[in-house]
Structure formats: C-alpha cells, structure tokens
Structure 1
Amino acid sequence: MDAEHVAGELASVLLSEEQISSRVGELAHEIEAAYAGRDIVLIGVLGGAATFTVDLARALTVPAEIGWMAMRSYTTSKRSSGAVRQLKDLDLDIEGRDIILVEAVIDTGLTMSWLLNNLATRRPASIAVCALLRKPDGPAFDVPAYVGFDVPAGLIVGYGLDHRGRYRNLRCAALLAPGPSAPPGAR
C-alpha cells in the first residue's frame, strides 16, 4: 500500500520505501564488516520488526539464521504500561552464538532492556542491537547498536508498524495524523 491510499490519515511521510531500502542495505554492510567470518542469528521482535528483519536478512551476504520473539509493553490505550510481557519466546538455542536483536523502533527502551537482560542469561557469544528507527531521547545500551534513522516523537506506522492492526503494509514509514484513531504522543 502506498501513502496516497491513506493520505488523509497521515500527518507526514517520514521515510520513503527507497530511503528505507537503501539504509537497510547500508546496515547490512555495517553488520557484515563487524561480523566477518562469523555466523549470526537475527532475533526479530514480532510483529513490528518482521518486515525489517526479513529485509535485513535478505540484504546480508553472510550466513544468518532468524529467530523470533514477541513482546508487549503497551496497554490498550497505547501508553507505556511500565511492564513488559513476553508473548512468544525464542525457539533457538543461542548459547555461544553471535546474536543481533532486531527491533523496528526504540522509544523508551523498556522492551529492549528487558530483551537484552533476558537474552544475556542464555549465554550468547555476543549481543548487538539493530533498530530501524530511534525516537528522541532513545536510550543508549551497553552493546553495539546499529540504527537506521532518528525520527520524531509520535505514532509511526508503515513498514511493518501498525496502529490498531492497520498500516503494516504501508511501504513507507509515516507519522499518523492526530485524531480519534491516534492518541497524541502514542507509541
């Protein structure tokens, strides 16, 4: 779906499909340089990072396995609940392996911190983070981080990110217009 199909629902397009694709390729090259000669495991955080995880894996020219986890840290009002709930655990053994945790958006850092702590208990050889988007004042982590774009605060949809189940298939990343369907400051 293109932005023109939902133009009245978007405040602005932040990143075009082409910009995202180009940056995903650059991130893949950065990761390849850092992990030369090593097999990596990408751990995608469902559902928002599914598109990004698959595109990143396809852009890599080194072997990579993909695993998935699903978390929830927002209440039904889309405001941070202050707690993280695991919906799906990783199905892979990562002990002694190099892992890259792939997330669509780093906002408060609550989910990412929980995931990093949880995965560290599984004794991987190394952990890094790769996020497509980082919101203002996004936290720094004590692990290598690959970040695609810094973006403004607000509810971002598209390229796998949804609001109430919609917009995941939007090819770009866009800021949802404020209104009844998008609480101000959400996500």
Structure 2
Amino acid sequence: MDAEHVAGELESVVLTEEQILTRVAALAAALAEEYAGRTPVLVGVLGGAATFTVDLARAYPGQVEIAWMAIKSYSTRNRASGSVRLLKDLDLDIAGRDVIIIDTVIDTGLTMNWLIANLRQRGPASVAVCALMKKPDTPDFGETPAYVGCDVPAGLIVGYGLDFRGHYRNLRCAAVLSPVHARG
C-alpha cells in the first residue's frame, strides 16, 4: 500500500520506500564488515520487525541465520512500563554464536534492554542491536553495539511492518500516524 492510499491518516512520512531500502543496504553492509567470515544469527522481533529482518537478510552479502522471538510489552497510559512477556522463544541454541537483535524501531529502549539481558543469559559469543529507526531520547545499551539506520521523530510510527491495531503493516513507507487516528 502506498502513502497516498491513507494520506489523510498520516501526519508525515519519515522514510520513503526508496530511503528505507537505501538504509537497509547500508546497515547490511556495516554488519557484513563487522561479521566478516562469520555467520551471525539475526533475531527478528515479531511481528513489527518481520519485514525489516527479511529485507536485511536479503541485502546481507554473506550467510546469516534467521530466528524469531515474539514478545508483548505492557504499557500504562501510553508509556512503556518495562514489563515484558515472552510469547515465542527462539527455536535454536545461540550459545557461542554472534547474535544481532533486529527491530524496526526503538522507542524507550525498555523492551530492547529486556531482550539483550534475556539473550545474554544464553551464552552467545556476542550480542548487538540493529534497528532501522530510533526515536528521540532512546538510551544507549551500555556496551552492546547498536546499528541504527536513522533517527525519527516522536509519535506512533506505522508502515514497513509496524502496525496500529493490525493496520498499516503493508504500507511501503514509514510514517507518523496522525494523532486523531492514533486515538481512534
């Protein structure tokens, strides 16, 4: 779906389809340089990061393995609480492996910090984070390397796999949903 199909529901487009593909290619190249000669495990966070994970894997110029986790983050009054529930765990052992957590957008960083801690308990050789977008005021992840495509404004980001109440995942761009539609 193109942005013009839902233009009245969007506040602004933050990344066009072309900009997304350019940033995905740049992130894949940076990761390939860092992990040259190794086969990292891309851990995609379902469901929002499915599109990004697959596109990143396709752009990666070497071998990667893809694994999936699904988690549910809880919030109170539209603020992340830091409470996370694991809905789907990895189907493979990551002990001794290079793990890259893939997420489309990092907001507060609370869920990502939970994922990093959870995966580190499993004995990987390394853990890194790769996100296409990062919202303002997101904290660093300590000594965990983070590869980020770009900073985006605050607001509810939809498109490129990200949804609001099940809608907009198939939007080819990434956009801020208008506040009127974000309440609805």
TM-score w.r.t. the length of structure 2 is 0.96
Amino acid at match of 1:80: A
Counterpart position of 1:22: 22
Counterpart position of 1:128: 128
CA distance in 1 between partners of 2:29 and 2:124 (Å): 22
Amino acid at match of 1:148: G
Mapped pair 1:169 → 2:170: yes
Q: Point out the more displaced range, 3-12 or 77-86.
A: 77-86
Counterpart position of 2:156: 155
After the TM superposition, list the runs of 4 or more consecutive aligned residues in structure 1 that deviate by more than 6 angstroms.
Answer: none
Q: How do residues 1-187 of structure 1 correspond to structure 2 at under 5 angstroms? A: 1-75=1-75, 78-141=78-141, 142-179=143-180, 181-183=181-183
Q: Point out the more displaced range, 14-23 or 84-93.
A: 84-93
SS in 2 for 1:174: strand
CA distance in 2 between partners of 1:150 and 1:34 (Å): 22
The answer for unaligned runs of 5 or more in structure 1 is none
* Maintained 8 Å contact 2:41/2:65: yes
The Cα of 1:80 is off from its aligned counterpart by 1.9
The CA deviation string for residues 98-146 of structure 1, in whole angstroms up to 9 with x for no partner, is 1100011111111101000000010001111001110000110121110
Amino acid at match of 1:164: R
TM-score w.r.t. the length of structure 1 is 0.94
Identity %: 68
The answer for unaligned runs of 5 or more in structure 2 is none
Amino acid at match of 1:137: D
Distance change (3 Å), C-alpha of 1:170 and 1:77: farther
The CA deviation string for residues 126-172 of structure 1, in whole angstroms up to 9 with x for no partner, is 11100111000011012111001100100000000000000000000
Amino acid at match of 2:23: R
SS in 2 for 1:129: strand
Q: Point out the more displaced range, 110-119 or 76-85.
A: 76-85
CA distance in 1 between partners of 2:4 and 2:54 (Å): 25
CA distance in 1 between partners of 2:53 and 2:22 (Å): 15
CA distance in 1 between partners of 2:2 and 2:156 (Å): 18
Amino acid at match of 1:160: G
